[in-house]
C-alpha cells in the first residue's frame, strides 16, 4: 500500500516470483524517488526465485528482501498505474482504486527454464535484460515528465 505521496505503480504477474520482482527492482532503481513501486501476483508462489535474485545482483539491484504478495493487498489503497508482465495476470487483473493507467508488457517466464543452473541463468539474464530495457525507459519517461 502506498504510504507516501508518490503515485503507486503496481507490477503484476501470476506467481510474483521472477518477472514482477525484476521489473520492480529496475523501476525502483530508475524512478523510486518519484514512484512507490510494488509488485504482486494473482497466485503468488510464496517466494522470490533465487535465480532472479542472483541475476539482479549482477546488475547491482538487490531484490533479496522482496516478498511474494497477493494482489488483494493492494485493493484498498490507491494504485495509479498497473503493469502486467504476463498474460495470465493481464486476464485476471481487477481495477484498482484510483487507477489511472494500465499497461501490459509480457515477458517469457524464466521460472519455466529447464536444464542446468547455468542454462537456466541464460534465460533469466535474457528476461532481465528485456525487462531492464522496458522499465528503465518507462522510468526515464516519469523522470522527464517530472522536470516539466
Strand runs (DSSP E) across 1-148, as ranges? 8-13, 36-41, 81-84, 101-104
Count Cα neighbours of 111 within 13 Å in the Cβ-side half-sphere: 17
| C-alpha of 107 from chain center | 11
Cell numbers at 96, concatenated: 484498482
Cell numbers at 92, concatenated: 485476471
- How wide is the angle at C-alpha 142 spanned by C-alphas 13 and 11, nearest 5°? 10
Query: Which residues are identified as catalytic?
Result: 13, 86, 93
Furthest-apart CA pair in the chain: how many Å?
49
Amino acid at each position: 500500500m502506498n504510504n507516501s505521496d508518490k503515485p503507486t505503480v503496481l507490477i503484476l504477474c501470476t506467481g510474483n516470483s521472477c518477472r514482477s520482482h525484476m521489473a520492480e527492482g529496475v523501476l525502483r532503481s530508475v524512478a523510486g524517488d518519484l514512484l512507490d513501486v510494488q509488485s504482486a501476483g494473482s497466485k503468488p508462489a510464496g517466494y522470490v526465485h533465487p535465480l532472479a535474485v542472483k541475476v539482479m545482483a549482477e546488475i547491482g539491484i538487490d531484490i533479496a528482501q522482496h516478498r511474494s504478495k497477493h494482489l488483494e493487498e493492494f485493493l484498498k489503497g490507491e494504485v495509479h498505474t498497473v503493469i502486467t508482465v504476463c498474460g495470465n495476470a493481464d486476464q485476471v487483473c481487477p481495477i484498482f482504486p484510483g487507477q489511472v493507467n494500465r499497461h501490459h508488457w509480457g515477458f517469457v517466464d524464466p521460472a519455466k527454464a529447464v536444464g542446468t543452473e547455468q542454462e537456466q541463468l541464460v534465460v533469466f539474464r535474457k528476461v532481465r535484460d528485456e525487462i531492464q530495457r522496458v522499465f528503465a525507459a518507462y522510468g526515464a519517461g516519469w523522470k522527464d515528465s517530472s522536470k516539466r
